[in-house]
Amino acid sequence: MRRIKITWAKPGDILGYPIFRKDGAILLNIGVKLTEAYIQQLKELGITHIYIQDDISQDIIVPDPISIETRMEALRVIEDNFHRSCKGLPLDVESIRSVVNSIVDEILSSDQILLNLYDIKSFDNYIFSHSLSVTLISIIVGRKLGYNDKFLRDLGIGCMLHDIGKLDVPKEILDKPDRLTPEEFEIVKFHTHYGYKRVREQDRDIPATSSHIALDHHERYDGSGYPRGLKGEKIHIFSRIASIADVYDAMTTDRVYRKAYSPSDAMEFIMGGSGTLFDYNIVNAFVKSIAPYPVGDIVLLSTGETAIVVDVNKDFPLRPIVRVLKEDRWEDVDLLKETNISIFKSLEE
Ligand SMILES: [Fe+2]
Ligand SMILES: [Fe+2]
């Protein structure tokens, strides 16, 4: 399968990955043949990219770090807990723990090194899919850093709930299409305090270090973050990991006020902040955990040709194997061997 912009989709294209509703249920499943009406509906829902299967991409497998079932369950659990918290009910910590356990088990049992799959955002669930991606990325990075499964589970629970304080921020501010005023930004910053309060107050089953992710995921290594301006090791390792996952996922998502950055551009930003905004060691593990040119992506080569990323070269993420599109055929080129060709840019923006 390969990833295309929704504006490139045409009737007859076969869906390569499901489109989820915000409650985790599937809106359109793998294998569905797109019609003009479906494409129109997806556009209206604000979906910008989809995965399709076609002749040229038939044998391209985009590895997903977790199964579709676990992904659906996790989205359902996040939504359910946000609703509970909104209504003043205690969190169902058991449901969170159980799905995080499945996620950790699946990630630990896969030999996959790099996160390749774009988060499949559905239309109106930014906060739910974002919570799940931050959880996945953090666990993958934590694994790369060599931490054990207990560490990864506690990290995961906190990440699932890291933005729950957004429930306390007025919707008009969260969805505002233009730049926030300084006053509005002050209100947004408060989601950290609110979130911590919601997680800490409602259940004592969550380790304190996990709940602190809600409070500290916007802290920056050099002390320039919020809400407390904590510095260096004063920020718990969970929050130092989550802050990178959070920035990466936010940057690679289309928002009402700006277009998404490509994975390679977002990675460049994070690498640029290594040692200042972000913990150097974690950035190192992060760049080894995420594919800058994910499998299935369309890229422009230095030769001027267009290609699809077919597979990654484990230790050389910038030099994957690509399928070059020629006039009437295609040809697979291993950029590790063809060192005179490089990827100029991703055509995903
Ligand atoms: Fe946040
Ligand atoms: Fe976040």
Whether residues 239 and 309 share a domain: the answer is no
- Is residue 152, in this structure, part of any structural domain at all? yes
78 and 162 in a single domain? The answer is: yes
In-domain check, residue 265:
yes
Question: Of the bound ligands, which one is closest to the alpha carbon of residue 127?
Answer: 2
| CA 246 – ligand 1 centroid, Å | 7
Domain assignment of residue 235, yes or no: yes
Q: Are residues 135 and 201 in the same domain?
A: yes
Q: Is residue 85 part of a domain?
A: yes
Q: Which of the 8 DSSP states describes residue 132? A: H
> Would you state the pLDDT for residue 258?
78
Q: Indicate whether 227 and 84 sit together in one domain.
A: yes
Ligand nearest to the CA of 166: 1
Task: Judge if 117 and 253 occupy the same domain.
Answer: yes
Q: Which of 19, 266, 244, 247 is nearest to 121 (CA)?
A: 19
Shared domain for 143 and 278, answered yes or no, is yes
User: What are 188-244's pLDDT values in tens digits?
Assistant: 999 999 999 999 987 678 999 999 999 999 999 999 999 999 999 999 999 999 999
338 and 248 both lie in a single domain: no
The residue among 246, 164, 177, 253 whose CA lies nearest residue 206 is 164
Does the residue 270 lie in any domain?
yes
pLDDT tens digit sequence for 126-169: 788 899 999 999 999 999 999 999 999 999 999 999 999 999 99
CATH of the domain at 43: 3.90.105.10
Residue 327 lies in a domain: yes
Same domain assignment for residues 262 and 340:
no
Does 150 share its domain with 77? yes
Find the 19 Cα to ligand 2 centroid distance in Å.
22
**224 occurs within a structural domain:** yes
Quote the pLDDT of residue 167.
95
> What angle separates helix 126-144 from helix 93-109, to the nearest 10 degrees?
50
Taking the centre of ligand 2 as the mean of its atom positions, its distance from the CA of residue 168, in whole angstroms, is 14
Number of domains in the chain: 3
Distance between Cα 50 and ligand 2 center (Å): 23
Contact 17, 62 (CB under 8 A): yes
Contacts of 93 by beta carbon, 8 Å cutoff, 6+ apart: 157, 203, 205, 206
| CATH code of the domain covering residue 252 | 1.10.3210.10
The reply to whether 52 and 92 lie within a common domain is no
Q: Does some domain include residue 293?
A: no
User: What is the reported pTM?
Assistant: 0.91
pLDDT tens profile 32-77: 999 999 999 988 887 888 899 998 898 988 878 898 899 889 999 9
Question: Are 191 and 241 part of one and the same domain?
Answer: yes
151 CA from centroid of ligand 1 (Å): 21
Q: Are 109 and 192 part of one and the same domain?
A: yes
- Boundaries of domain holding 32: 2-57
- Residue 338: closest CA among 286, 302, 288: 302
Q: How many CB atoms within 10 Å of residue 171?
A: 8
